[in-house]
Amino acid sequence: HVVAASKAMRNGDWKKARDFIINEKMNAKVWDLFYDADGVRKMLVRKIQEESMRTYLFTYSNVYDSISIPILAEMFELEVNSVHALVSKMIINEELMASLDQPSQC
């Protein structure tokens, strides 16, 4: 499940990655055993969205001249502020060779 999820993440398909990690079989074997199972699943979905976006940017950053923060937010169903924060952190940590253009949000 994890390998299949990582392949989906690499392609930017966070929903497919989520479905590999959070499903009836995995719920019964793993997630339902946690104290706050629903809270754990919500946290996992959020992390899958964020890490899928990061993985997508690592994989395809050399293809794009520019990419819109609102487009990324829409693709990964994250808030624009969260996407901006994640991309900024990647740039600061030199994980992504890019710059932010505030007026155009690219």
Q: How many Å apart are CA 3 and CA 8, to the nearest integer?
A: 9
| DSSP conformational letter for 32 | G
pTM: 0.86
Proportion of the chain in helix, strand, coil states, percent, rounded to 5? 65, 0, 35
Torsion sign, CA atoms 68, 72, 74, 80 = negative
Structure tokens at 46: 């959020």
Q: What is the pLDDT of residue 29?
A: 86
**pLDDT digit string, tens, across residues 5-51:** 989 988 889 999 999 998 888 878 888 888 998 999 999 999 999 99
Lowest mean pLDDT among 24-28, 51-55, 87-91, 92-96: 24-28
